[in-house]
C-alpha cells in the first residue's frame, strides 16, 4: 500500500490566477501520470463514481486547469459551475488559510461564530426581494433543497411537492424523487420519497404547438403546468413548487418569457411556497446575481450552493423570515452546516463577485459565446439550439435539420475536445447538450481559443 502511495503522489502546486493562461499539451491525454493514478483508482474507488475527464488535477486558476503531466486545459466547466470567481482565488485561499489556523470547526449548533451570521446577512441582502429574510446554512445543494422542502412543509402544514420535467435537484432520497432523469441518478436506487409530483416545463426548442396549432409560449406552458397541478394534485395539498429558473443538468433550458411569473402568481394565490433552486444558476453565473431576476420574480425561498464559496462545501436556504422561522427550534441544522472555512470562503467569494463586477463579466461572456456559437449554428445543421444566459450557455445537438437528439455526437465532441486541451461538459435529459460554464475569471482570448477548437472538432466530425 505504502509503495503504491509513493509512486504517483500528487504534490501541491501553486494555482490561482498566476498560472500561465495557456492551452498546452505536453503529453497525450491522459498522460502517463494520470494513467498511473487511474490504475490505482480502479482498485480503490467505487466504480459507481464517474469522472468526465481522464486527467488528474495538479492546479487550476484563471481560466485553466493543469494536470499532473503538466498539460494545461482551458476550463469550460468550473467544476460544474462552482469556481465562478476562479479556482484558488487568492482572497478565498487567504481567508480559508487564516480561518483553519484559528479554528476548523466548532459546530454552529454548539458554539456559533460570526462568519455564519455574516454569510446569512449577505444572502438576505443579495437574494431577490426587499422583504424581511432569514437564512440557514448547509453543506450540499441537495441538502439545501431537502431543507427548503422541510421548511415549506412546516410552514404550510401540507405535504405535496411539485417539480418539473427535466429537473435536477440532487442525489439524496428526496431529491432523487424530485430529479427527473432516471439514468444514472435514480437507476436501481428506489423506492423514492412520496408526495412528489411532476408538471410539464416550458422548453421553447421542443414545445412546438398545441392542438389548435398555437405556439406554446410562456403563459400557455404555465397554464398547462397549473392544470396538471390542479387536476392531479389539488392546489390546496401543495406545500411547495420547486423549480430551477434555468434548468442546469436538464439542458440549460430557459423557460419562455412569462412562464415563471405565472407560476409565482399561482403559488401566491394558493398559499404555496415558491422555491427557486438557484444552486447552479446563482451568484452572477447567468449575468444577474440570481437567474430569478431576469424575469423579475421574487421567490419565497431560494436554495443556493455551487458558486457560493468558490469550491468549499456550503449551501443555503434563504427566504421570507416568517417561512424560515416556521420549523420547531432545533428542527434545522447539521454537524457541518455552515462550516467556518466554507463561510469565510463565501464571504471572500462574494467580495470577488462585487469587486470584479462579475455580473457584467458574465454578460460579456454571453455575448462572446452566443456570437461565436450562433455563427457556427448558421453553418452546421447539427446545432439545433444555442441558448442560456451569461456564462451558462448550452449547445443542443440534433441529427441535421431535425429535433432528434444526438447524444453520440455530444459525447464525441466532448471527448475530442478533451484530447485537444478543452474541458467541456455534456448534459440534458437526452444527453445531447454541450454545456459551457467557464469561470468568470477566464480571458476572452482563452474563450475564443476554446471555441476555435470546438469549431475544428465539429468540422472534423462531419460526415
Ligand atoms: C448540482 C445541483 C443540485 C445538487 O447539489 P449538490 O451539491 O451536488 O448536492 C441541486 N440543484 C441544482 C439546480 C443543481 O445544479
Continuous segment of H or E residues that includes residue 423:
strand 422-423
Whole-number Å distance, alpha carbon 303 to ligand 1 midpoint, is 9
Asked if residue 10 has pLDDT above 80, the reply is: no
The per-residue pLDDT for 462 is 85
Q: Quick check: 314 and 120 in contact, CB under 8 A? A: no
Question: Could you tell me if 175 and 268 lie in one domain?
Answer: yes
Query: Rounded to the nearest whole angstrom, what is the distance from the C-alpha of residue 281 to the centroid of ligand 1?
Result: 10
Question: Does the pLDDT of residue 383 top 70, yes or no?
Answer: yes
Identify whether 187 is part of a domain.
yes
**Whether 180 and 223 share a structural domain:** yes
H/E element, 392: strand 392-397
Q: Please tell me the total count of domains within the chain.
A: 2
Domain-embedded: residue 83:
no
Whether 457 has a pLDDT exceeding 80, the answer reads yes
For residue 316, give the CATH number of its domain. Answer: 3.40.640.10
Q: Annotate 85-147 with DSSP letters as a single string.
A: T-TT-HHHHHHHHHHHHH-S---TTTS--HHHHHHHHHHHHHSS-SS-EEEEEESSHHHHHHH
Residues 32, 174: one domain? no
| Model pLDDT, residue 432 | 98
Mean pLDDT of 61-73: 98
Which grid cell sits at 270? 394558493
Instruction: State the distance from the centre of ligand 1 to the C-alpha of 353, rounded, in angstroms.
Output: 21
Residues 188 and 303 in one domain: yes
Domain around 423: 4-75+357-460
Ligand 1: residue of 279, 302, 388 to mutate (most ligand atoms within 8 A of CB) is 279
Q: Which of 306, 329, 355 delimits the end of a domain?
A: 355
Whether the Cβ atoms of residue 108 and residue 282 lie closer than 8 Å to each other: no
8 CA to centre of ligand 1 in angstroms: 32
- Residues 444 and 368: their CA atoms lie apart, in Å, by 8
In degrees and rounded to multiples of 5, residue 437 shows phi and psi of -135, 60
The three grid cell numbers given for residue 9, joined into one nine-digit string: 503522489
Q: Which atom of ligand 1 is nearest to the CA of 244?
A: 13
The reported pLDDT for the residue numbered 53 is 93
Name the percent of the chain lying above pLDDT 90.
Answer: 96
Q: Which residue has its alpha carbon closest to ligand 1 atom 6?
A: 141
- Cβ < 6 A, ligand 1 pocket: 140-142, 145, 168-170, 244, 248-249, 277, 279-280, 305-306
Tell which one of 77, 166, 170, 282 to mutate to probe ligand 1, the residue whose CB is within 8 A of the most ligand atoms.
Answer: 170
pTM, full prediction: 0.96
Instruction: Write down the pLDDT at residue 13.
Output: 73
Pairing state between β 64-67 and 72-75: antiparallel
Domain boundary among 355, 377, 410: 355
The model's pLDDT over 305-322, given as tens digits with 9 standing for 90+, comes to 999 999 999 999 999 999
Alpha-carbon distance 437 to 309, whole Å? 16
pLDDT digits (tens, 9 = 90+) for 406-444: 999 999 999 999 999 999 999 999 999 999 999 999 999
Interval between CA 193 and ligand 1 midpoint (Å): 18
Measured from the CA of 80, which atom of ligand 1 is nearest?
Answer: 1
Q: Nearest-CA neighbor of 284 among 357, 346, 368, 370?
A: 357
* Final residue of a structural domain among 355, 376, 402: 355
Question: What is the pLDDT, as a whole number, of residue 2?
Answer: 43
Predicted pLDDT of residue 263: 98
Is residue 7 predicted with pLDDT exceeding 60? no
21-56 pLDDT tens trace: 999 999 999 999 999 999 999 999 999 999 999 999
Say what percent of the chain tops pLDDT 70.
97
Give the pLDDT band of residue 5 (cuts 50, 70, 90). Answer: very low
Cα(280) to centroid of ligand 1, in Å? 7
pLDDT of the residue at 20: 97
Residue listed under C-alpha cell 450552493: 305
**249 CA to middle of ligand 1, Å?**
9
β 57-61/301-304 pair status: unpaired
Does the residue 84 lie in any domain?
A: no
Burial of 26 by CB count in 10 Å (0-12 exposed, 13-18 middle, 19+ buried)?
exposed
Protein residue closest via CA to atom 10 of ligand 1: 169
CATH number at residue 368: 3.90.1150.10
Side-chain-side CA neighbours of residue 362 (13 Å): 29
Nearby residues of 24 by Cβ (< 8 Å), 6 or more positions away? 70, 71, 72, 421
Helix, strand, or coil (residue 133) = strand
CA atoms within 13 A of residue 80's CA, in its CB half-sphere:
13
51 lies in some domain: yes
Whole-number Å distance, alpha carbon 229 to ligand 1 midpoint, is 24
Q: What is the pLDDT of residue 463?
A: 60
347 & 362 share domain: no
Ligand 1 atom nearest to CA at 306 = 7
Chain mean pLDDT for the chain: 96
Residues 380 and 418 in one domain: yes
Q: Determine, yes or no, domain membership for 87.
A: no
**Which atom of ligand 1 is nearest to 303's Cα?**
11
- Which residues have a Cβ under 8 Å from the Cβ of 212 and sit 6 or more positions away? none
* Mean pLDDT, rounded, for 48-69: 97
12: Cβ contacts below 8 Å, ≥ 6 apart: none
Dist. CA 209 → ligand 1 center (Å): 32
Give helix then strand counts, H and E, for the chain: 15, 15
CA of 75 to the centre of ligand 1 (A): 20
Strand partners, 161: 196, 240
164 lies in the same domain as 228: yes
- 387 and 319 in one domain? no
pLDDT tops 90 at residue 213: yes
pLDDT of 8 > 90? The answer is no
To the nearest 10°, the Cα dihedral for 151, 154, 158, 160? 30
**Cα–ligand 1 centroid distance for 435 (angstroms):** 15
Task: Name residues whose C-beta falls within 8 Å of residue 329's C-beta, 6 or more positions apart in sequence.
Answer: none
User: Do 200 and 316 fall into the same domain?
Assistant: yes
Strand-pair partners of 135: 318
Residues 328, 408, single domain; the answer is: no
Query: Do 182 and 287 fall within a single domain?
Result: yes
Return the closest-CA partner of residue 203 out of 184, 185, 235, 180. 180
The ligand 1 atom at the shortest distance from the C-alpha of residue 280 is 15
Identify any residues that bridge with 160 across adjacent strands, giving them in sequence order: 238
Does a structural domain hold residue 81? no
Q: Is the pLDDT of residue 9 over 70?
A: no
Cα(452) to centroid(ligand 1), Å: 30
Choice from 161, 176, 276, 280 to test ligand 1 binding pocket (greatest atom count within 8 A of CB): 280
Q: pLDDT tens for residues 81-121?
A: 999 999 999 999 999 999 999 999 999 999 999 999 999 99
Q: How many Å apart are CA 97 and CA 85, to the nearest integer?
A: 18
Judge whether 372 lies within some domain. yes
Substitution candidate for ligand 1 out of 141, 146, 334 with most atoms within 8 A of CB: 141
Ligand 1, atom 5, residue with closest C-alpha: 141
Q: Are residues 128 and 12 in the same domain?
A: no
- Is 300 domain-assigned? yes
Amino acid at each position: 500500500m505504502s509503495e503504491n502511495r509513493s509512486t504517483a503522489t500528487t504534490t501541491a502546486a501553486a494555482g490561482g490566477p498566476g498560472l500561465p493562461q495557456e492551452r498546452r499539451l505536453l503529453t497525450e491525454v491522459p498522460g502517463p501520470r494520470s494513467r498511473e493514478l487511474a490504475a490505482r483508482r480502479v482498485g480503490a474507488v467505487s466504480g459507481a463514481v464517474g469522472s468526465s475527464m481522464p486527467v488528474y488535477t495538479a492546479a487550476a486558476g484563471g481560466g485553466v486547469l493543469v494536470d499532473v503531466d503538466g498539460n494545461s486545459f482551458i476550463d469550460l466547466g468550473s467544476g460544474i459551475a462552482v469556481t465562478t470567481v476562479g479556482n484558488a482565488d487568492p482572497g478565498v485561499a487567504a481567508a480559508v488559510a487564516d480561518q483553519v489556523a484559528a479554528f476548523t470547526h466548532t459546530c454552529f449548533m454548539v458554539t456559533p461564530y460570526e462568519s455564519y451570521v455574516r454569510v446569512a446577512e449577505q444572502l438576505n441582502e443579495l437574494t431577490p426581494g426587499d422583504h424581511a429574510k432569514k437564512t440557514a446554512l448547509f453543506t450540499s445543494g441537495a441538502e439545501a433543497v431537502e431543507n427548503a422542502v422541510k421548511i415549506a412543509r412546516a410552514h404550510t402544514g401540507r405535504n405535496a411537492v411539485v417539480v418539473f420535467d427535466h429537473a435536477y435537484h440532487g442525489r439524496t432520497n428526496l431529491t432523487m424523487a424530485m430529479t427527473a432523469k432516471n439514468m444514472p441518478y435514480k437507476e436501481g436506487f428506489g423506492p423514492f420519497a412520496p408526495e412528489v409530483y411532476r408538471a410539464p416545463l416550458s422548453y421553447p426548442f421542443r414545445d412546438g404547438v398545441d392542438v389548435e396549432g398555437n405556439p406554446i409560449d410562456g403563459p400557455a406552458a404555465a397554464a398547462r403546468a397549473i392544470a396538471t397541478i390542479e387536476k392531479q394534485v389539488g392546489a390546496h395539498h401543495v406545500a411547495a413548487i420547486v423549480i430551477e429558473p434555468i434548468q442546469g443538468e436538464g439542458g440549460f433550458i430557459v423557460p419562455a418569457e412569462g412562464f415563471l411569473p405565472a407560476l409565482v402568481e399561482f403559488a401566491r394565490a394558493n398559499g404555496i411556497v415558491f422555491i427557486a433552486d438557484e444552486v447552479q444558476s446563482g451568484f452572477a453565473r447567468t449575468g444577474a446575481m440570481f437567474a430569478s431576476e431576469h424575469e423579475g420574480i421574487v421567490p419565497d425561498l431560494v436554495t443556493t450552493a455551487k458558486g457560493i464559496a468558490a469550491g468549499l462545501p456550503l449551501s443555503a436556504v434563504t427566504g421570507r423570515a416568517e417561512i424560515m422561522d416556521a420549523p420547531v427550534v432545533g428542527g434545522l441544522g447539521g454537524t457541518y452546516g455552515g462550516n467556518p472555512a466554507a463561510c469565510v470562503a463565501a464571504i471572500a467569494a462574494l467580495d470577488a463577485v462585487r469587486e470584479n463586477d462579475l455580473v457584467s463579466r458574465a454578460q460579456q461572456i454571453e455575448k462572446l459565446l452566443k456570437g461565436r456559437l450562433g455563427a457556427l449554428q448558421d453553418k452546421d445543421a447539427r446545432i439545433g439550439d444555442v441558448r442560456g444566459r451569461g456564462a451558462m450557455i448550452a449547445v443542443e445537438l440534433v441529427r441535421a435539420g431535425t429535433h432528434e437528439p444526438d447524444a453520440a455526437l455530444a459525447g464525441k465532441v466532448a471527448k475530442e475536445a478533451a484530447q485537444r486541451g478543452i474541458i467541456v461538459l455534456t448534459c440534458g435529459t437526452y444527453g445531447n447538450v454541450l454545456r459551457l460554464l467557464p469561470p468568470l475569471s477566464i480571458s476572452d482570448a482563452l474563450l475564443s481559443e476554446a471555441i476555435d477548437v470546438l469549431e475544428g472538432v465539429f468540422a472534423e466530425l462531419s460526415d
